[in-house]
Amino acid sequence: MGAEQAWLLAAIPAGVFFVLALFGRYLPRGGDYLGVAAIGASFVLFFFVAADFLSFYDFEAHKTFITESISWSEIGNFKLRQGIHVDAITIVMFAVITTVSLMVNIFSVGYMKGEPRYYWFFAVLQLFVASMLLLVMADNLLLVYISWELVGVCSFLLIGFYWEKRSATEAAKKAFITTRIGDVGLLIGIILLWKETGTFDIQQIIHAAEAGEIGQTYLFVSIMFVFLGCMGKSAQFPFHVWLPDAMEGPTPVSALIHAATMVVAGVYLTARLLPIFEAADGALLVVTIVGLTTALLASLIAFAQTDIKRVLAYSTVGKLGLMFVALGAGSPAAGLFLLMTHAFVKALLFLGSGSVILGTHHNQEMDKLGGLWKKMPITGTTFFVATLALAGLPPLAMFWSEDELFASVNHEWGLWALVLAMLAVFATAIFMVRLFIRTFAGEPRDRQVHEHARETPLVMTGPLVFLCVLAVVSGLFVFNGVGSALGFPGGIGEFVFLEEPERYAIDWTLAGISLAVAVAGVLIGAYVYWGNSLVRSTRLAEAMPRLYAALRNKFYIDEMYQYVIDRGVLGVSYVVSWFDRYVVNDTGVDGSAQVTGYSGSILKYLQTGRVPNYAMAITLGVVGLTVAGLLVRA
């Protein structure tokens, strides 16, 4: 089993998808064990692929990737090949996707117990994972696009899993349509790149872009179209609106969407095409600005949300923004490292909130929670670790990845971007502490909910503990010693890079500031919300009513879109429908029918039914024809 057979990782879950979708309902337990087994197989195979790749890998000898492709079709002298491309980015993505998916799958066995369409949930989960795995190993943009859309469809199916609920179907539609808008841009970008280079192959396009074979403006425009797709998928401003609503799906799905599949697709594609972004002047700046805007906006909105999952959703949006900031700073290492650590932490948080929701019998409003730590010790402890990790405290995972981020941002853009990025981290620390305190600490707000709360079974707490360990240790991967010990060439910076491997060296000033910011955030959060008391926060909200309302309503972005759609789209539709109704239908279709009918109703009186009239007509016809013939001949 070598890296050339990496396609098996996606093929196994895809096959199981068909089995489950067709026969799942007849299998005992809906065939959930098949799903776990399939992803487990992918998880195990990943280690073989990684080992094979690492034994092959040699940067000095330019052995940095393995490809395997087959001829798909030939049209004239255009040859289309489909294949896989395994390199450092792929390996990192594999690690994230297989690990998180496996945990989510195991967790789902407990969480989804007794739900209707149990088998269907696991079936789509397999397809979701398979599409995502295919996406990260595709060697050409066409395959990227196909798996990209597959990921979109699966997220649509899973977000709308409870389709009996109107809000769920609405959220599914919103997610699908919003990402579709970006996807159109992606398709345009792919076509533009293909038109200029004549190939879909990612490496060839990168070479062409780096060699300057594509005009600057053309390159910039086409890569911006591609980035539009990434923004849609990764919920970047102004496409971020779908992600919080996507909470309507089952909680394990949220974990999957936020950590391993779907939203990281955009980050992955940007990282994959980063050389092209670099070759196009100004593209990286756009990426940075979009990322910073999203990060700040989402971190602010998260303050005023009361639904656990919504808070987490906005924190994801914010962190995704930071990932783009890292990529915008030209550092795929920082971006992917942040992606990885965030994936483990965020999966843990979502599964933890899922555990809370199940433990409190489907309650996810913070206003009714509180004091759950004692009732749910495992969930509470893991959640606590995850909260501190997301807040950016050392030695937990995200501190190290954010340190990488700050270093590269400082190096590339200087102080202004650094300050803004830190502001986002600071805000995250505050609202994460708020989330934790209001859920687990202090006095319970709702006695009844509190009394019925109980710890969830092992099938759910197991994945929590596993992810908790990863949330603690995965950050250490930044150190070269840790990487070497695991068989990698070194730390993340020596494995994933743009041009040259970078050794990790801690910048004590930056690390100190970062630590100070995180600690300050945590302390402020703890001060304001201590003991699950809302006194201080309410005073704060009353002090700034306008700001609070804006945050509460997510800066009215949804309302703005609604307004634009109502006025613009519906206005145009009204005109079009008027045209259709009155011009096409009434005049064109009904009109011609009416003309025929009306002329018939008049002309029918010519049909007297009296034989002499017909005979007269015949005679006059003969006379008329003869005269006409004579005239023509004359």
Partner 1 sequence: MATEVLWWIFAVATVLLSAGVVFSRSVLHSAIFLIGSLGGVGAMYVFLTVDFLALVQFLVYGGAVTVLILLALMLTRTDAKESLNGTQAPWAALAGAMLLAILVSASVAVKWPGDIDDAPTTIPLETISEKLFVDFGPPFVIASVLLLVALVGAIILARQEEGE
Partner 2 sequence: MVPLENYLVLSAVMFSLGVYGVLARRNAVLVLMSVELMLNAVSLNFVAFAAYLDPERITGAIFAVFVITVAAAEVGLALAIVIRLFRNRATSNVDEAAMMKW
CB of 627 to partner 1, least distance (A): 8
Strand partners, 591: none
Contact flag: residue 415 with partner 2 (CB under 8 A): no
In whole angstroms, give the CA distance from residue 523 to residue 169: 40
In sequence order, which ranges of 240-282 are alpha helices (DSSP H)?
Answer: 242-245, 251-255, 263-272, 274-279
d(CA 577, CA 333) in angstroms, rounded, equals 52
SS3 of 340, please? helix
Query: x/- binding map, residues 553-592, to partner 2, per CB under 8 A?
Result: ----------------------------------------
Least Å from the CB of residue 616 to partner 2: 5
> Is 216 or 613 the residue whose CB approaches partner 1 more closely?
613
Question: Which option in partner 1, partner 2, none does residue 626 bind, with CB closer than 5 to 8 A by kind?
Answer: partner 1
Q: Which CB atom, from 508 or from 605, has the smaller least distance to partner 2?
A: 605
Least Cβ distance, residue 606 to partner 2 (angstroms): 10
Give the number of other CB atoms < 10 A from CB of residue 176: 18
Interface region with partner 2, contact rule CB under 8 A, candidates 361-369, 428-436, 567-575, 605-613: 605-613
By CB under 8 A, tell whether 604 contacts partner 2: yes
The CA angle 202-207-208, to the nearest 5 degrees, is 95
Which x/- pattern over 367-406 shows residues binding partner 2 (rule: CB under 8 A)?
Answer: ----------------------------------------
Amino acid identity of residue 336, one-letter, is L
DSSP 565: I
Among 612, 631, 632, 634, binds partner 2 (CB under 8 A): 612
For 326, the token pair is: 């890292």
Please state, in angstroms and rounded to a whole number, the distance separating the CA atoms of residues 482 and 629.
106
CB 288 within 8 A of CB 325: yes
For residue 607, the minimal CB distance to partner 2 (Å) is 5
Omega cis (within 30) before 395: yes
CA 410 → CA 154, 299, 513, distances in Å?
38, 21, 12
By CB under 8 A, residue 62 contacts partner 2: no
Min CB(609)–partner 2 separation in Å = 3
**Is 610 one of the binding residues for partner 2 (CB under 8 A)?**
yes
Q: Under a CB-based contact definition with an 8 Å cutoff, are residues 386 and 468 in contact?
A: yes
Considering CB distances under 5 to 8 angstroms, the limit depending on partner class, which of partner 2, partner 1, none binds residue 22? none
Q: For the beta carbon of residue 613, count every other beta carbon within 10 angstroms.
A: 12
508 binds, among partner 1, partner 2, none (CB under 5 to 8 A by kind): none
- Nearest to 32, CA basis, from 95, 100, 114: 114
The stretch near partner 2 (CB under 8 A) out of 133-141, 215-223, 316-324, 600-608 is 600-608
3-class secondary structure, 396: coil
Contacting positions for partner 1 (CB under 8 A): 612-613, 616, 619-620, 622-623, 626-627
* DSSP tag of 27: S
**Shortest Å, Cβ 607 to partner 1:** 15
630 in contact with partner 2 (CB under 8 A): no
Unique residue bearing structure tokens 């086409």: 222
604 binds, among partner 2, partner 1, none (CB under 5 to 8 A by kind): partner 2
Cβ proximity of 284 and 328 under 8 Å: yes
449 in helix, strand or coil?
helix
Nearest residue (CB) to partner 2, 184 versus 616 = 616
The interface partner of residue 523, options being partner 1, partner 2, none and the CB cut-off 5 to 8 Å by kind, is none
The binder of partner 2 chosen from 164, 609, 632, 633 (CB under 8 A): 609
In the complex, which residues of this chain contact partner 2 (CB under 8 A)? 604-605, 607-612, 615-616, 619
